[in-house]
Amino acid sequence: MGWGYRKSIKMGPFRINLSKSGVGHSVGGRGARYTRTADGRREMTFRIPGTGLSWRRPMGRRSDRRRPRRRRG
């Protein structure tokens, strides 16, 4: 089992996340949050407070979200 490190610093709606892999940041409130991770990934998280239900959507390049192209020929 490996070692890890994680620390979060809150400043109002902003949050700085420190981890073994680097520094990330996020902004938002209880219902919605935009995050940029230490490795550069971006995502939006939507939550229903008090229920434990959440939905997360990656915000990568547009080509990452498209269906694969059909081959011509």
Q: Mind listing the pLDDT tens digit for each residue in 18-28?
A: 999 899 999 99
Q: pTM score > 0.75 for this model?
A: no
Pairing outcome for strands 14-19 and 22-28: antiparallel
| The two three-digit tokens of residue 25, written as one number | 């940041």
Amino acid, single-letter form, for residue 70: R
Nearest-CA neighbor of 8 among 35, 40, 44? 35
Alpha-helix runs per DSSP H in the chain: 62-65
Give tens-digit pLDDT for 1-53. Answer: 688 888 999 999 999 999 998 999 999 988 999 999 999 999 999 999 889 89
